[in-house]
Amino acid sequence: MTGSIIASFALLQAPAGSAVPQMIFMYGAIFAIFYFVLIRPQQKQRKQHEERVKSLKKGDEIVTAGGIVGEVVHIAGTGNDGAAKLTDRITIKSGESKLIVERGRIAAVGGGSATPNA
């Protein structure tokens, strides 16, 4: 009786040679799903954010990483070739205060021409 049970289990097992390509395909499919669902959209969003931060101009409304909302008053520190760097300093006006923040610390860029409070 035990001989027939062992023989039936042996028939149920797949050959060892066919399991390896299936596992490789499965891991490849999982990686592809992660790439197209998580990694690629995040890279695309990061590039769009960097472009918006690099193309700042006077009057744009920004939000810093610390949560301060303000309007760009002055941009200083662009290189000789006119390219913006993440270490450039931006002067913003928030309420009655003027603050200097680094370009790399800007979390979000609003549309443009912030409306002053009445």
Kind and range of the H or E run holding 2: helix 2-12
**Tens of pLDDT along 16-53?**
557 888 999 999 999 999 999 999 999 999 999 999 99
Q: Encode 64-96: b = buried (16+ Cβ within 10 Å), e = exposed.
A: beeebebbbeebeeeeeeeebeeebebbbebee
Residues forming beta bridges with residue 101, ordered by sequence position: 90
Residue 83: its pLDDT value, please?
A: 64
Residue 20: its pLDDT value, please?
A: 87
57-109: what fold?
A: SH3 type barrels. (2.30.30)
More confident residue, 29 or 113: 29
The DSSP call for residue 117 is: P
Residue 87: its pLDDT value, please?
A: 72
Give the start-to-end residue ranges of the domains of the chain: 2-50, 57-109
With bands split at pLDDT 50, 70 and 90, how would you rate the model's confidence at 64? Answer: very high
